[in-house]
A and B are shown apart, each in its own frame.
Chain A
């Protein structure tokens, strides 16, 4: 089954404790991205990647890192999480061909205390 898999679904952590949210897709998509969703703000892009070893900042990259060493994986790293990073996070992927829709993972709800 074609899918984007994020883990974990829920995560509670404390300020300053490094964490990684994993994202994997099995559709051989070139494009992958991370979004955060906050009430009243919609989805805002954190980072995106057009292909392996190519990553770029989105609208809200501060406090986050990503890597794209393999085509299927695009982990999101919070080196020193802070309470303002409490949010719902989504990973997404798509082909770079025309008419290619964006596929989302099921989300990761992160709480930083």
Chain B
């Protein structure tokens, strides 16, 4: 199946700093989503972004499908941004969503 790699695995930031999380995938995809898992374990959908760029407040995401990667930008980070960020992709022609192993973000005050 498709391989999904996220980097970095862990990230510690001071409140107010910016960060970029990366998701690389091994084959063409027709579905790519970013999720945030908060410290209580809830998984929240951030973006549906198989290509192009989207922005939602302090968060934005860009997917370059031809080069098989996606980036999640977090600006002016807050302690509530802490948690694990997952990228999930669906290979073109397939039915399954495959998840990366996540980036654990810790924002310290």
When distances are taken between beta carbons in the complex, the residues of chain B under 8 Å from A50 are: 95
Q: How far is the CA of A33 from the CA of B95 in the complex (A)?
A: 11
**B80 at the A interface (CB under 8 A):** no
Place the interface of chain B in its size category: 10 to 19
Q: A101-B48, A102-B45, A103-B45 are in contact. Are A42 and B33 (CB under 8 A)?
A: no
7 further A-B contacts with Cβ under 8 Å, apart from A43-B86, A50-B95, are A33-B97, A43-B99, A56-B95, A58-B96, A104-B45, A107-B42, A107-B43
Residue of B nearest to A99 (CB): B48
Residue of A nearest to B84 (CB): A42
Q: A56-B95, A58-B96 are in contact. Are A88 and B41 (CB under 8 A)?
A: yes
Interface string of B30-48 (1 = CB under 8 A from A): 0001010000011111001
Residue of A nearest to B6 (CB): A42
Q: A102-B45, A103-B45 are in contact. Are A48 and B95 (CB under 8 A)?
A: yes
**A67 at the B interface (CB under 8 A):** no
**A106 at the B interface (CB under 8 A):** yes
Could you tell me if B101 and A106 are in contact, using CB atoms closer than 8 angstroms? no
When distances are taken between beta carbons in the complex, the residues of chain A under 8 Å from B45 are: 101-104
Cβ 8 A contact of B42, one of A33, A44, A58, A104: A104
Q: How far is the CA of A42 from the CA of B41 in the complex (A)?
A: 13
Could you tell me if A42 and B97 are in contact, using CB atoms closer than 8 angstroms? no
Cβ 8 A contact of A45, one of B86, B97, B100: B97
Could you tell me if B96 and A48 are in contact, using CB atoms closer than 8 angstroms? yes
Cβ 8 A contact of B33, one of A59, A101, A106: A101
When distances are taken between beta carbons in the complex, the residues of chain B under 8 Å from A103 are: 45
- Which residues in chain A, 16-37, are within 8 Å of chain B measured between CB atoms? 33, 35
**B88 at the A interface (CB under 8 A):** yes
When distances are taken between beta carbons in the complex, the residues of chain B under 8 Å from A92 are: 43
**B93 at the A interface (CB under 8 A):** no
**B102 at the A interface (CB under 8 A):** yes
**B1 at the A interface (CB under 8 A):** yes
